[in-house]
Amino acid sequence: METTPELQLDYPCQWEYKLVLSSEHNVTTIVQEVLEERIHDIRKSQNSTKGNYASYTLNILVHNADDRKALFHLLKQHQHIKFVL
């Protein structure tokens, strides 16, 4: 079985997460719940064809690989976030 090589990044660095959630939920509130006081930037990317879902780009400073992965898992675990990329 082949293993995926670890990303070679110079930390700290800016990292982008793509978030998809139902259009009925407020992304600002949701991201604030997860990130608390961490400084971040969130931009709307697009809506689904029927307008039921919206995607966003979250940009945040990550301090190391563990921080980057932990944020991914925290975002992924939120009940209103459907996908995190």
Task: State pLDDT tens for residues 44-79.
Answer: 999 999 999 999 999 999 999 999 999 999 999 999
In a domain, 37, yes or no: yes
Task: Round to whole Å and give the CA distance between 59 and 75.
Answer: 13
In a domain, 82, yes or no: no
Domain count, the chain: 1
In a domain, 47, yes or no: yes
Both structure tokens of 39: 């400084």
Task: Round to whole Å and give the CA distance between 22 and 54.
Answer: 6
In a domain, 41, yes or no: yes
In a domain, 22, yes or no: yes
Residue 54 belongs to domain spanning: 11-58
In a domain, 80, yes or no: no
Q: What angle do CA 62, 40, 77 make, to 5 degrees?
A: 75
Q: How far is CA 4 from the centre of its chain?
A: 21
pTM assigned to the model: 0.89
